Amino acid sequence: MKLATALDSGRGRPFPLARITPSTLLGGGRARRVVERNILVYRRGWIFIVSGFFEPFFYLLSIGIGLNKLVGVVEVGGRAIPYTSFVAAGLLAASAMNGAIFDATFGIFFKLKIVKTYDAMLSTPLGPADVARGELAWALIRGGAYAGAFLVVMAGLGYVGSGWAVVCFPAAVLVSFAFSGAGMAATTYMRSWQDFDLVSLAVLPLFLFSATFYPLGVYPGWLQLIVRLTPLYQGVALLRGLDLGLFSWSLLGHGVYLLVMGALGLAVSARRLSVLVLP
């Protein structure tokens, strides 16, 4: 608990989070000290965390009030469902992505390149793998919070497709895991703030064209193939299938894609931190 004590604003008492939160959620072992530090940093800046939830929430409201009346129903897996239910599952995946990726990019870059937080961390018993796991666990907490809140709103508005929507939460956390790992890995190669234009250049098209708002069949054949290979489409298809109770082997494929994406990103992040920070 020495590191947690030091991080607790110098008050000389251990931060109690480790005693009340499962260690697996915090990254386990020494990695949870990184999560504790982030919680201490953000406890007075919670508005910056909460604000990211509202973009997909406003999209959901505007579509539910406006476009739903124009579009009517959409056919998915041989079932006709309201357009709001179709879009809600896609926006749930987008919410999980947004909640994770910005911490895993802007936050990581600031600590790595600007304030040199990781230099200090790695001068303690923490290793690069501990830091990478801790940061990824923090991004998962944020992404999971966004997804959980959004799922509650979906249920409250009556936009869930079936009772199977309850399993969308762990699937949304898997989406956050994939984008957290990939975002962290990509950030370790960035050299300046201008490189973040590439993040926006990647995230916005994913948000708009991953079958979030339109069925895949409306795209030309060549574009359908590209969309099927993109990571957010995997999350959208996985969450939409679970929400509607449309189970098939393809859902397993989407889950494996996201799991491998996150694991590779985590491995690359740990390796790059050891190269960039350690002497």
Domain ranges of the chain: 1-44, 46-276
CB crowding 101-120: b at 16 or more within 10 Å, else e? bbbbbebbbebbbeeebbee
For 158-189, what is each residue's pLDDT tens digit? 888 888 888 999 999 999 999 999 999 999 99
Q: How many of the other CB atoms lie within 10 Å of CB of 3? A: 19
Cα 165 from Cα 161, distance rounded (Å): 7
pLDDT in tens, 196-237: 888 888 888 898 889 988 888 888 888 999 999 999 999 999
Here the tokens at position 103 are 């911490």
pLDDT of residue 83: 87
CB neighbours of residue 167 within 10 Å: 13
- The more confidently predicted of residues 57 and 10 is 57
More confident residue, 173 or 2: 173
Helix axes 83-102, 54-62, angle to 10 degrees: 170
pLDDT of 179 reads 94
Q: What pLDDT does 152 receive? A: 87
Q: Is 224 exposed, middle or buried (0-12, 13-18, 19+ CB in 10 A)?
A: middle
Assign 259 a pLDDT band (cuts: 50, 70, 90): very high
Note the pLDDT of residue 48. Answer: 58
> What does R_g of the chain's alpha carbons equal in angstroms?
20
What tokens does 113 get? 């390149």
- The predicted pLDDT at position 50 comes to 62
Across residues 88-117, what is the average pLDDT?
86
